[in-house]
């Protein structure tokens, strides 16, 4: 008998497994829509109606960045809490309860989105994952999101409960690092989700139900981004956790510094939320001063990311030197490249470093104008969430699968090929997306081609960029196929008795070196709340002051065809009226 | 071999971003490559790396040090 | 075949005090140089190569055409 996770915590392993499989289902669906839209917008293969493009893109966005990432997160966090506190969950029924709520929620939202493909019902939710008004979804979509988020809140409560119970028994011990990471991330999540909760419950859901006539689009957008920036850290924190506690171990070394890791997570708790307005640099109706504050906070966020780069690389180097590596760069060859868990995470980290540059461009208020809403942005986040997060998740899956299924991994070589293929595919796709963005190619567009206008590339041509994107998309899809082959192959393997033990990395400098104040979660939460109040009170007040809580009357979209005709008629009569009066002015002069 | 098979795979993968951006860099010095030419340069580089990787080590055994990962 | 890379391939133990992460320093310096170069490059290509952008003290209001 081995010491794998499933041996110590069979019931919890089942939950983690279920969460992972839910996450993989979302990944598969998201991947299918990804390749459809890639081939569609590059013009290589168009079999859907362009009018359905937003339905496809909504499915891609929501399934990947809401269900794939967050189901994986709850699996990893449950593993982290139970392993690092060395105790099972307090009440399994409660644990399955929040999982169930999340599953029901995302199913409702998912069905609402997919229903957009058929005319059999008038249910649809082609509002993209940002659900900006006036795009309007069926109430089922918003309701599902609410249930899903409430599920994550309860999951957080479950983890806090485990920690409190553990603290009773270990009053003087430091919070174990993985638990610390889970708790700080969840505190950030509680603060952040207040924004979407308000946007949905107070405005969008009542509007979609017909209880109120209109909403203030700028207000709901701002509330969305209140959540929308920190949500990127919600995707990233489980990946960071893996870089801090698994990567050093698979490299053959130890985590360089436990205190530094704690500092990083505290900084993310404090700084993630008061930055959301950096997604709204181009929104009219928000004063430049507020945007400037958001930019400053954003630049401070570079600090924890650079600290992470240092700590993680230093931990890998420690492993490499223990394995006999030498020299300034020579140690790189002593790393375990044969291990897909290692190679996947290392390549993910490398792409994240590249994303650091495009992110700095996005973050600068003036340079942002150059790339805002272009394909550049899509290139950027396929490096961050689409690779740094997604590839890390896929890579650690190769470590987790044996732990939670009790079966040996189907094929390590296929796994290695898979992570490398993702890297190559993403290089092609993301590079060309960035370049296209610089030429002004818009994102979220089914047919980015215009009469009498050609995008001009400085090097190469637009056609070459399109080809590069399509090629990248195809390689990524192949990579996904290999990934799922391994997941299925492993599930079909027999039970193995020789699995590695369920362990994470030790530390060179441990928690005893960390100042006690770092563990004072109340203090950090209070500071985070104060910063949020500073950053958001005035912008929100001025938005409400100008546009009203429920805004100027707006027309929800999608509109039926009759409304379009009506709208066109109204516009036309206004326009002719205006023209007539101008003509009249001209005559009377 | 001078490098582990996995190491070789990763080195070849890292060639992708280099090749993709090589065209831009060269265009600054007014060398404009077509896609085909870039592909040819890429293939040539791959061959060079492969030849280097499969060359027998010159018996001094030093380079084998970094080869730890090929053994498992 | 060992299932994971761990202790089995470790050749020596390096403690906190003997460990000097010069390789990390080297890598991060390289990264920093690349970023700095790209930044300079960005200035030339995107600012000198394009029309002025709309950031300014007076003309910030949309619609001044
Ligand atoms: C097979 C792999 C993938 C392909 C081929 C792909 C392709 C694309 C393309 C072409 C777009 C842009 C569509 C447009 O703006 O018109 C897009 C958007 C997007 N992708 Fe992916 N992608 C893939 C994987 C991923 C992954 C793994 C994630 C995240 C975990 C992701 C997240 C997103 C998001 C959030 C958007 C933006 C949606 C929106 O604008 O509302 N993608 N993808
Ligand atoms: Cu952001």
pLDDT in tens, A244-274: 999 999 999 999 999 999 999 999 999 999 9
Q: Mind listing the pLDDT tens digit for each residue in A407-418?
A: 999 999 999 999
User: A294-298, A470-474, C15-19: which range is least confident on average?
Assistant: C15-19
> Terminus-to-terminus CA distance in chain C, angstroms?
70
In this prediction, residue C57 has a pLDDT band, given cuts at 50, 70 and 90, of very low
pLDDT over 90 at A422, yes or no = yes
Q: Are residues A235 and A314 in the same domain?
A: yes
The continuous run of DSSP H or E covering B3 comes out as none
pLDDT at C54 over 60: no
Whether ligand 1 lies within 6 angstroms of the CB of A340 is answered as no
Task: Measure CA A163 to chain center.
Answer: 26
Measured between beta carbons, the chain B residues lying within 8 angstroms of C2 are 72
Same domain, A294 and A376: yes
Any B CB within 8 A of A330 CB: yes
Q: Is the beta carbon of A421 within 6 A of some atom in ligand 1? A: no
Report which protein residue has its CA nearest ligand 1's atom 10: A38
Per-residue pLDDT tens over the stretch A88-109: 999 999 999 999 999 999 999 9
Instruction: Summarize the confidence of residues A518-540 as an average pLDDT.
Output: 93
A57: domain CATH number is 1.20.210.10
Asked if A543 and A571 sit in the same domain, the reply is no
- Asked if residue A261 lies in contact with residue A505, where contact means CB atoms within 8 angstroms, the answer is no
For residues A534 and A571, state if they share a domain. no
Is A443 a catalytic site residue?
yes
Cα–Cα distance measured from residue A470 to residue C22, given in angstroms and rounded to the nearest whole number: 41
Dihedral of CA A102/A107/A108/A112: which sign? Answer: positive
pLDDT at C56 over 50: no
Most confident of A175-179, A436-440, B50-54: A175-179
> What are the residues whose beta carbon lies below 5 Å from ligand 2 (ion)?
A 229
Spatial neighbors of A158 by CB under 8 A, at least 6 apart, are: A89, A90, A94, A95, A98
Least confident piece of the model among A126-130, A181-185, A429-433, B34-38: B34-38
Catalytic residue among A24, A256, A352, A381: A381
A362 and A398 in a single domain? The answer is yes
Same domain, A481 and A534: yes
| Assigned token pair, A246 | 């698994």
Considering the domain architecture, whether residues A548 and A571 belong to the same structural domain is answered as: no
A464 contacts on B by Cβ (under 8 Å): 35
CA distance C46 to chain B (A): 15
Please give, rounded to a whole number of angstroms, the shortest distance from the CA of A313 to a CA of chain B. Answer: 18
Nearest residue (by CA) to ligand 1, atom 9, is A38
Measured CA distances, A182 to A74, A186, A197 (Å): 10, 6, 21
Reported confidence tier of residue B71, pLDDT bands at 50, 70, 90: very low
Per-residue model confidence (pLDDT) at position C45: 65
What tokens does A244 get?
């801090």
Higher-confidence residue: A122 or A150?
A150
pLDDT score of A406: 94
Read off the pLDDT of each residue in A299-317 and give the average, rounded to a whole number: 91
- pLDDT at residue number C38: 84
Q: pLDDT category, A484, cuts 50, 70, 90?
A: very high
Question: Do the Cβ atoms of A351 and A383 come closer than 8 Å?
Answer: yes
Closest to A38 (Cα-Cα) out of A482, A476, A480: A476
Dihedral, A280, A283, A284, A287 alpha carbons, nearest 10: 0
Is A251 in a helix, a strand, or coil?
Answer: coil
What's this model's pTM, rounded to 2 decimal places? 0.90
- Inform me whether the pLDDT recorded for A397 exceeds 70: yes
Q: Is residue A442 classed as helix, strand or coil in its secondary structure? A: strand
Least CB–CB distance from A322: residue in C11, C21, C62 = C11
pLDDT > 70? residue A75: yes
d(CA C24, CA C43): 29
Chains A & B: contacts with CB separation below 8 Å: 64
DSSP 8-state symbol, A277: G
Centroid of ligand 1 to alpha carbon of A462 (angstroms): 20
d(C-alpha A377, C-alpha A434), whole Å: 7
A355 shares a domain with A475: yes
**Does pLDDT of A438 surpass 70?**
yes
Q: Residue A568 belongs to what domain range? A: 561-589
Please report, for residues A41, A47, A114, A123, A565, the alpha-carbon distance to residue A119 in angstroms, rounded to integers and kept in the order given.
23, 17, 11, 9, 20
On the question of pLDDT at C26 being above 50, the answer is yes
Rounded Cα distance, A478 and A484, in Å: 10
- CB neighbours of A76 closer than 8 A, spacing ≥ 6? A16, A238, A241, A242, A396, A400
End-to-end CA distance of chain B: 15
A135: phi then psi, degrees, rounded to nearest 5: -60, 130
Statement to judge: residues A565 and A551 lie in one domain: no
Same domain membership, residue A586 and residue A466: no
* Torsion over CA: A306, A311, A312, A316 (sign): positive
Q: Is the pLDDT of residue A350 over 90?
A: yes
For strand A507-509 and strand A255-257, is the pairing parallel, antiparallel, or unpaired?
parallel
* Same-domain pairing of A569 and A460: no
Residue from A255, A252, A226 nearest A242 by CA: A255
Within 8 A by CB and 6+ apart from A134, the residues are: A217, A554, A555, A556, A557
Angle between helices B5-28 and B35-54 (to 10 degrees): 140
CA A263 – CA A292 distance, rounded (Å):
25
For residues A292 and A304, give the distance between their C-alpha atoms in angstroms, rounded to a whole number. Answer: 20
Q: Name the pLDDT band for A588 (thresholds 50, 70, 90).
A: very low
3-state secondary structure A485-538: HHHHHHHHCCECCCCCCCCCCCEEECHHHCCHHHHCHHHHHHHHHHHHHHHHHH
Closest CA to A462 of A450, A474, A473: A450
Residue A567 has pLDDT above 80, yes or no: no
In this prediction, residue B22 has a pLDDT band, given cuts at 50, 70 and 90, of confident
Task: With beta carbons under 8 A apart, name residues in chain A contacting C29.
Answer: none
| Phi–psi pair at A256, nearest 5 degrees | -60, -45
User: With an 8 Å Cβ cutoff, is B65 touching chain A?
Assistant: yes
Q: Total structural domains in chain A?
A: 2
Is residue A510 pLDDT above 90, yes or no? no
Token reading at A60: 């891609």
CA distances (Å), A19 to each of A13, A98, A159, A212, A326, in order? 10, 11, 15, 37, 41
Pick from B66, B72, B46: nearest CA to B2: B66
Residue C59: the pLDDT is: 42
For residue B72, the chain A residue with the least C-alpha distance is A338
At A511, list the tokens.
Answer: 């928690």
Residue B29: CB atoms within 10 A of its CB come to: 7
Separation CA A432–CA A472 (nearest Å): 9
Residues A436 and A460 in one domain: yes
Whether residue A40 lies in the annotated active site: no
> What's the pLDDT at B47?
95
**DSSP line for A210-239:** TSSS---HHHHHHHHHHHHHHHHHHHHHHH
* Most ligand 1 atoms within 8 A of CB, residue of A53, A59, A60, A428 to mutate: A60
Considering only the C-alpha atoms of chain C, give the largest distance between any 2 of them, rounded to a whole number of Å.
Answer: 71
pLDDT at A7 over 90: yes
Peptide bond before A558: cis, by omega within 30 degrees of 0?
A: yes
């Amino acid at each position: 008998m081995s010491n794998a996770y499933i041996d110590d915590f069979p019931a919890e392993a089942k939950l983690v497994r279920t969460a992972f499989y839910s996450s993989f289902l979302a990944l598969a669906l998201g991947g299918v829509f990804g390749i459809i839209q890639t081939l569609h917008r590059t013009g290589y293969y168009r079999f859907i109606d362009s009018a359905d493009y937003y339905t496809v893109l909504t499915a891609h966005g929501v399934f990947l960045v809401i269900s794939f990432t967050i189901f994986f997160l709850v699996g990893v966090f449950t593993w982290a809490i139970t392993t690092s506190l060395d105790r099972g969950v307090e009440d399994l029924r409660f644990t399955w309860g929040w999982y169930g709520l999340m599953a029901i929620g995302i199913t409702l939202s998912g069905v609402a989105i997919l229903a957009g493909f058929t005319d059999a019902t008038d249910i649809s939710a082609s509002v993209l994952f940002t659900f900006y008004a006036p795009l309007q979804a069926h109430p089922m979509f918003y309701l599902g999101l609410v249930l899903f988020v409430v599920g994550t809140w309860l999951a957080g409560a479950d983890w806090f409960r485990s920690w409190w119970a553990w603290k009773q028994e270990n009053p003087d011990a430091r919070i174990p690092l993985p638990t610390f990471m889970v708790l700080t991330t969840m505190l950030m999540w509680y603060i952040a989700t207040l924004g979407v909760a308000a946007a949905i419950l107070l405005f969008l859901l009542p509007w979609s139900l017909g209880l109120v006539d209109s909403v203030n689009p700028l207000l709901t957008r701002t509330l969305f981004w209140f959540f929308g920036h920190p949500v990127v850290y919600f995707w990233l924190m489980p990946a960071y956790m893996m870089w801090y506690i698994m990567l050093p171990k698979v490299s053959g070394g130890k985590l360089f510094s436990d205190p530094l890791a704690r500092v990083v997570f505290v900084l993310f708790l404090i700084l993630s939320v008061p930055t959301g307005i950096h997604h709204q640099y181009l929104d009219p109706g928000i004063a430049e001063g507020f945007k400037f504050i958001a930019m400053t906070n954003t630049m401070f966020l570079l600090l924890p990311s650079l600290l992470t780069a240092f700590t993680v690389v230093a931990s890998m180097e420690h492993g490499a030197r223990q394995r006999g590596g030498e020299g300034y760069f020579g140690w790189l060859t002593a790393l375990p490249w044969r291990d897909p868990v290692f190679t996947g995470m290392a390549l993910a980290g490398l792409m994240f470093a590249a994303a650091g540059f495009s992110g700095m461009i996005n973050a600068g208020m003036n340079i942002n104008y150059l790339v805002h809403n272009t394909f550049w942005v899509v290139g950027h986040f396929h490096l961050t969430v689409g690779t740094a997060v997604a590839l890390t998740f896929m890579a650690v899956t190769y470590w987790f699968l044996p732990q939670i299924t009790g079966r040996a991994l189907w094929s390590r070589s296929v796994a290695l090929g898979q992570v490398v293929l993702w890297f190559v595919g993403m290089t092609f796709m993301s590079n060309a997306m960035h370049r296209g963005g610089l030429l002004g190619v818009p994102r979220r567009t089914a047919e980015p081609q215009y009469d009498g206008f050609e995008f001009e590339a400085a090097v190469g041509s637009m056609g070459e960029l399109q080809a590069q994107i399509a090629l990248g998309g195809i390689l990524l899809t192949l990579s996904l196929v290999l990934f799922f082959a391994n997941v299925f192959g492993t599930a079909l393997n027999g039970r193995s008795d020789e699995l590695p033990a369920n362990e994470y990395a030790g530390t060179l400098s441990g928690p005893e070196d960390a100042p006690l104040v770092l563990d004072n979660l109340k203090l950090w939460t209070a500071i985070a709340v104060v910063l949020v109040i500073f950053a958001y009170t005035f912008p929100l007040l001025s938005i409400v002051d100008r546009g009203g809580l429920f805004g100027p009357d707006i027309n929800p979209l999608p509109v039926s065809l009759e409304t379009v005709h009506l709208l066109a008629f109204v516009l036309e009569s206004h326009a002719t009226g205006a023209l007539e009066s101008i003509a009249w002015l001209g005559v009377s002069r | 071999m001078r490098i582990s098979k996995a190491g070789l795979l990763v080195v070849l993968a890292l060639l992708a971003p280099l090749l993709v951006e090589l065209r831009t860099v060269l265009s600054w010095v007014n060398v404009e490559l077509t896609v085909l030419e870039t592909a040819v340069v890429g293939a040539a580089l791959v061959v060079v790396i492969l030849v280097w990787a499969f060359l027998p080590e010159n018996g001094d055994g030093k380079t084998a040090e970094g080869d730890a990962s090929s053994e498992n | 075949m060992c299932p994971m890379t761990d202790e089995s391939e470790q050749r020596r133990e390096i403690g906190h005090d003997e460990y000097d992460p010069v390789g990390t320093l080297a890598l991060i310096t390289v990264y920093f140089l690349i970023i700095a170069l790209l930044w300079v490059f960005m200035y030339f290509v995107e600012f000198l190569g394009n029309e002025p952008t709309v950031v300014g003290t007076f003309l910030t209001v949309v619609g001044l055409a």
